[in-house]
Structure 1
Amino acid sequence: MLTEYAAHYNTGRPHRELQLRAPADDPDASPFPAQRVHCHNVLGGLIHEYRNTA
C-alpha cells in the first residue's frame, strides 16, 4: 500500500510548482480538458484520480 501511495504522490498528483500538473503528465496536454472525465480509484478508493476519456 505504501509503495502505491508513494508512486501516486511522486508521479500522479498535481504539484503547485508544476502549475498543477503531475510529473508524469504529457507537457503538451491541456491541464483542464473540456472533455469527459473518468474517476479512477487508487488505494481501494481512498484517493480518487480523474482522467480525460477523449
Structure 2
Amino acid sequence: MSLTNYLMQSIICTTIFYDYGLEFFGELGAALGLVIAVVEYSLQFIIKCN
C-alpha cells in the first residue's frame, strides 16, 4: 500500500508540475502547494479506506 501511494503521488505531482502536464513548477506558492498536498493525501486516504 505504501508503494501504491508513493507511485500515485509521483504521477499526480509530476502531472501538475512538469512540462507534459500543467507546468506549475515555480508558479505556485507554499500555501497552495500545501493545499495540493493535503487534498492529494485526503483523496488517497478516502480511496484506500473504501
Provide the TM-score with structure 1 as the length reference.
Answer: 0.33
The structure with the greater share of residues assigned to helix is 2
- TM-score normalised by L of structure 2: 0.34
Per chain length, whose mean CA-contact separation is higher, i.e. which structure has more relative contact order (CA < 8 Å, sep 6+)? 1
